Amino acid sequence: MTLSAPVRLLVNPAAGRGRALRRLETAQHALARVGPFDVVTTRSAGDESRLARDAVADGVSTLVVLGGDGTISRVAAALVESGGDTALAILGAGTGNDLAKSLGAPVFDYAAMAERIAMREVRRIDVGEIDGRVFVNAAGVGFDVAVLERTLNARWLRGDVLYAVTALGQLFSYRGFAAEVDVAAAEKSDTLVAAADTGGGHATRWLTVVIANGQWFGGTFRIAPDASLSDGALDLVAISDASPLRRAQLFGGAPFGRHVLAAEVRYAQQQRVTLRFAEPPLYQADGELYKASGAVLDVRVRPLALSVIA
pLDDT in tens, 70-122: 889 999 999 999 988 899 999 988 666 788 888 888 999 999 999 999 998 89
Task: Give the model's pLDDT for residue 204.
Answer: 64
CA nearest neighbour of 265 among 198, 200, 192, 178:
192
- Say if domain 135-303 classifies as CATH 2.60.200.40: yes
Answer positive or negative: Cα dihedral of 74, 77, 81, 85: positive
What stretches of 171-305 show up as alpha helix (H) in DSSP? 244-253
Decide yes or no: CATH 3.30.365.10 for domain 7-120. Answer: no
- What whole-number distance in Å separates Cα of residue 272 and Cα of residue 269? 9
pTM for the predicted model, two decimal places: 0.86
pLDDT of residue 47: 92
The pLDDT value given to residue 199: 33
| 158 residue type, one letter | R
Identify the segments of the chain with pLDDT beneath 70: 1-5, 16-17, 94-96, 151-167, 184-204
User: For residues 3 and 10, what is the distance between their CA atoms, to the nearest angstrom?
Assistant: 17
Q: What is the domain partition of the chain in residue ranges?
A: 7-120, 135-303
d(CA 177, CA 116): 44
What is the reported pLDDT for 158?
A: 52
